[in-house]
């Protein structure tokens, strides 16, 4: 939202007032060791200037090392309605003042408040509005709140201040503008499919079912990461408007409707450290089971299928040497007009429990997933019970809130009602009894108010009367996925629960995993998906997938095969489409050649399964730190390389593998390698030295996949991976590959598929890999050599 018309004019219909002075600095009322700034909206030169004007209060408080909260308030008497983000889910660290006992200090530079490594300094002149955020040791300036950077606004503009005695006809906003440095880039804000660097964009954080080719997003996350080594988490689940260098080119403007705006500034100094501290605030991704990293195959969306179709798909995959770890039944496992009633269509699946058991016993798949959502159609068996017992959202007149979008007469499960949560969990337990192991939690975006400009006077009443419907719109995805995830976890145990979720907000990363939504079957959409996955990873989400081949349309064989290569190097990999199947033989008329879809899919699936010892070890780090497994932006590993902050067509799989998807039918691809020696995964004798851009041409069985120097790469046994998919004994017949390792620095950890630690590897002074004696079977050690440590 823009409040000004260029540099000089106020936007039409707006009244804007800015904090001009910092009139008084006192301790914050909370007693948490912070500073409260009283900021009038004009310069106070005499006592008379204190009358008939508004003030803004800015409370700055230390949270924990490297993190300060900043809250701007106009009228403090406004009710703090929920819902609120579930902060510090793993516990709050020790107070920052215990790290820096002299948290508040005064000098010629002004008044300073430190929170460990991060300090805010307030200019000593009360008529100079200037708050600077910098490293406590003085090594780095991060950002500032400067003149006319904090304010309030009314729309429409009142012509008489007495009109504001009745606020029902006015909207009230609070905003801040943090300074953007020369060359600074901004990333994150959820799964966004547009330009990777958000500078120059106007962004609304409002969940919407908008596909992957617009400025709308399924997953709006109120956190952004700066290339200058800090991040900002905006503590508001409601609509947040950002002008990222788009109202003022040198500022990031954040605004909300209401009387308060609160955000946290997080200092790394590295982007990995920023994400780790952000994960302390909002939560780390939970551990997901090893089987979830294998290939998922679905029925696709509106395709016609029954029990015979499912068996035929899986038998066809097995006969072609393609291991399927998870089979997913999409929407039409239920009858039309009944979604979601949790009942298998009796004509298509007369005995689902026996059917699923047969699939598993025949080892056609390891696990089964079904599609659900929180929208309950009135023609399904679940609706009448849910409506009668008050489990569905209601209108103000007492009616169940219904509409005909998606499902005829559908209602919305009210997850603010504990009884509704228990009922929904009971429905899920019946699916688990049938043999369902995972759930695709689709939708959750079309929650009233449906449109961002309709956030006031919404005709709905939630069971929890303390919540604000405008705040429930985005936050609903957190409650929905939390209920489902906890039901899975309770049934199957910690580390065995996994979702396939579409909607999200801050904190939903605790309930993995998420996928990228409805993309088209085009190379442009594949590139959009890469940008979306990168942005979500920089928003604290550790695990991510995409509809391989594209969801909308029917991919030509070359796009399918290029997408297979990309999709099998995401953290999770699923074949899924809309109105056409994604089994490979349906794409290219069963081309059985080495370049056919079936052989290409078999090769990449086997590679993913062989990489599991490496992938699973990296996944364990993700659950400990909040740093994404894949897609991991290159800037997380190489933050000092300016080019890395602009790479949006390639990514890291963990910390050691660089992946560059191919978007051209010809196989031509251009990619960048940062400083260091990089070795082709396909040919250990082929190395490239970065930094630099490179061009290559690849067939469908390869893409630019480079191993970072100083890496010990763990590859599982080919026979075990071929036979068992993603789950096997990773410690048996392991390939240990060392790439240009520095003794004492090159390390790797092996976990088995049950999450138990097996061994830590390290390259010793003699260039040998230590720890291999603890492995079983025949260990193949490749590339034992060393390089000298670089300056």
Task: Give me the active site residues, please.
Answer: 442, 445, 518
Which residues have C-beta within 8 Å of that of residue 410, sequence separation ≥ 6? 375, 376, 377, 378, 402, 403, 404
514 in helix, strand or coil? Answer: strand
49/271 Cα distance (integer angstroms): 45
331/718 Cα distance (integer angstroms): 35
| End-to-end CA separation in angstroms for the chain | 48
Which residues have C-beta within 8 Å of that of residue 53, sequence separation ≥ 6? 40, 41, 42
Q: Rounded to 5 degrees, what are φ and ψ at 477?
A: -65, -35
Contact 127/93 with Cβ under 8 angstroms? Answer: no
163 in helix, strand or coil? Answer: helix
Which residues have C-beta within 8 Å of that of residue 502, sequence separation ≥ 6? 218, 219, 441, 442, 443, 444, 445, 514, 515, 517
Which residues have C-beta within 8 Å of that of residue 221, sequence separation ≥ 6? 188, 189, 190, 191, 205, 504, 505, 506, 536, 539, 540, 541
Q: What is the DSSP letter of 615?
A: H
Contact 456/471 with Cβ under 8 angstroms? Answer: no
Which element (helix H / strand E) includes 531? helix 523-537
364/602 Cα distance (integer angstroms): 15
358 in helix, strand or coil? Answer: helix
Residue 370 is encoded by which pair of tokens? 């079904």
Residue 779 is encoded by which pair of tokens? 């260990």
Contact 233/281 with Cβ under 8 angstroms? Answer: yes
Considering only CA atoms, which of 485, 597, 599 is closest in space to residue 543? 485
152/164 Cα distance (integer angstroms): 13
Q: 321: exposed, middle or buried (C-beta count within 10 Å: 0-12, 13-18, 19+)? A: middle
Contact 286/629 with Cβ under 8 angstroms? Answer: no
112/103 Cα distance (integer angstroms): 8
Considering only CA atoms, which of 681, 542, 680 is closest in space to residue 610? 681
Considering only CA atoms, which of 503, 463, 449, 448 is closest in space to residue 481? 503
336/651 Cα distance (integer angstroms): 40
Which residues have C-beta within 8 Å of that of residue 486, sequence separation ≥ 6? 425, 497
**Residue 442's CB: how many other CB atoms inside 10 A?**
24
Considering only CA atoms, which of 71, 18, 36 is closest in space to residue 265? 71
Q: What is the DSSP letter of 356?
A: H
Considering only CA atoms, which of 90, 17, 95, 30 is closest in space to residue 60? 30
Q: What is the DSSP letter of 412?
A: E
> How would DSSP label each residue in 414-479?
-TTSHHHHHHHHHHHHHHHHHT--EEEE------SS-SGGG-SS-S-B-SSTTB-HHHHHHHHHHH
Q: Rounded to 5 degrees, what are φ and ψ at 395?
A: -85, 170
Q: Is 327 left (phi over 0), alpha (psi -120 to 50) or beta?
A: beta
Q: Rounded to 5 degrees, what are φ and ψ at 407?
A: -120, 140
355 in helix, strand or coil? Answer: helix
Considering only CA atoms, which of 46, 53, 61, 47 is closest in space to residue 19? 53
101 in helix, strand or coil? Answer: coil
């Amino acid at each position: 939202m823009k409040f000004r018309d260029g540099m000089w004019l106020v936007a039409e219909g707006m009244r804007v007032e800015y904090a001009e002075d910092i009139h008084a600095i006192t301790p914050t009322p909370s007693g948490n060791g912070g500073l409260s700034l009283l900021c009038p909206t004009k310069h106070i030169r005499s006592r008379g200037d204190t009358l008939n004007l508004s003030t803004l209060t800015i409370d700055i408080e230390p949270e924990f090392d490297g993190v300060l909260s900043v809250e701007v308030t106009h009228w403090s008497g406004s009710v703090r309605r929920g819902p609120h983000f579930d902060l510090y889910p793993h516990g709050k660290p020790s107070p920052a003042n215990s790290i820096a006992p002299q948290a508040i200090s005064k000098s010629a530079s002004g008044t300073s408040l430190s929170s460990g490594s991060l300090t805010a300094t307030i200019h000593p002149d009360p008529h100079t509005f200037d708050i600077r955020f910098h490293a406590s040791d003085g090594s780095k300036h991060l950002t500032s709140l400067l003149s006319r950077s904090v304010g309030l606004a009314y729309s429409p503009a009142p012509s008489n201040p007495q009109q504001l005695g009745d606020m029902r006809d006015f909207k009230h906003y609070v905003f801040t503008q943090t300074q953007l440095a020369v060359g600074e880039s901004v990333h994150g804000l959820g799964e966004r499919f547009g330009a990777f660097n958000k500078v120059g964009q106007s962004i609304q954080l409002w969940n919407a079912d908008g596909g992957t080719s617009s400025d709308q997003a399924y997953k709006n996350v109120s956190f952004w990461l700066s290339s200058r080594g800090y991040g900002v988490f905006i503590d508001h689940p409601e609509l947040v408007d950002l002008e990222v260098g788009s109202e003022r080119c040198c500022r990031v403007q954040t605004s909300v409707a209401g009387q308060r705006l609160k955000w946290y500034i997080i200092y790394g100094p590295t982007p990995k450290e920023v994400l780790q501290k952000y994960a302390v605030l909002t939560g780390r991704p939970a551990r997901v089971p090893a089987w979830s990293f294998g290939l998922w195959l679905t029925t696709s969306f509106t395709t016609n299928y029954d029990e015979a179709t499912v068996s035929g798909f899986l038998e066809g995959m097995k006969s072609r040497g393609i291991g399927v770890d998870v089979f997913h039944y999409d929407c039409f496992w239920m009858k039309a007009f009944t979604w979601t009633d949790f009942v298998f269509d009796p004509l298509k699946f007369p005995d689902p429990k026996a059917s699923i058991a047969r699939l598993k016993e025949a080892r056609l798949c390891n696990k089964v997933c079904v599609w659900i959502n929180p929208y309950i159609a009135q023609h399904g068996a679940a609706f009448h019970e849910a409506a009668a017992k008050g489990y569905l959202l209601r209108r103000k007149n007492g009616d169940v809130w219904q509409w005909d979008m998606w499902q005829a007469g559908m209602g919305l499960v009210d997850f603010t009602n504990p009884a509704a949560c228990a009922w929904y969990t009971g429905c899920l337990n019946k699916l688990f009894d049938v043999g369902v192991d995972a759930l695709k939690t689709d939708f959750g975006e079309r929650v009233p108010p449906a449109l961002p400009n309709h956030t006031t006077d919404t005709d709905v009443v939630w069971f929890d009367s303390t919540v604000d419907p405008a705040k429930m719109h985005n936050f609903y995805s957190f409650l929905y996925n939390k209920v489902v995830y906890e039901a899975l976890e309770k049934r199957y145990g910690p580390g065995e629960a996994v979702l396939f979720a579409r909607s999200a907000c801050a904190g939903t990363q605790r309930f993995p995993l998420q996928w990228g939504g409805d993309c088209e079957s085009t190379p442009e959409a594949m590139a959009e998906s890469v940008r979306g996955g990168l942005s979500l990873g920089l928003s604290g989400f550790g695990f991510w997938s995409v509809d391989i081949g594209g969801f909308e349309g029917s991919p030509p064989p070359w796009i399918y095969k290029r997408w297979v290569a990309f999709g099998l190097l995401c953290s999770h990999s699923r074949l899924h489409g809309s109105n056409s199947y994604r089994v490979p033989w349906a794409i290219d008329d069963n081309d059985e050649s080495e370049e056919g879809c079936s052989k290409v899919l078999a090769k990449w699936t086997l590679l993913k399964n062989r990489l599991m010892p490496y992938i699973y070890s990296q996944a364990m780090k993700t659950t400990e730190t909040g740093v994404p497994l894949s897609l991991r932006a290159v800037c997380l590993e190489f933050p000092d390389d300016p080019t890395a902050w602009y790479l949006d067509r390639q990514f890291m799989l963990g910390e050691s593998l660089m992946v560059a998807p191919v978007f051209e039918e010809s196989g031509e691809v251009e990619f960048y390698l940062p400083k260091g020696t990089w070795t082709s995964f396909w040919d250990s004798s082929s190395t490239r030295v970065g930094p630099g851009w490179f061009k290559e041409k690849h067939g469908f069985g390869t893409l630019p996949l480079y191993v970072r120097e100083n890496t010990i790469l763990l590859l599982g046994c080919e026979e075990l991976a071929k036979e068992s998919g993603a789950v096997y004994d990773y410690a048996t017949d392991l390939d240990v590959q060392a790439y240009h390792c520095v003794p004492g620095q090159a390390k790797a950890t092996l976990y088995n598929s049950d999450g138990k630690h097996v061994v830590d590897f390290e390259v010793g002074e003699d260039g040998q890999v230590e720890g291999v004696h603890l492995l079983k079977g025949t260990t193949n050690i490749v590339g034992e050599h060393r390089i000298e440590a670089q300056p």
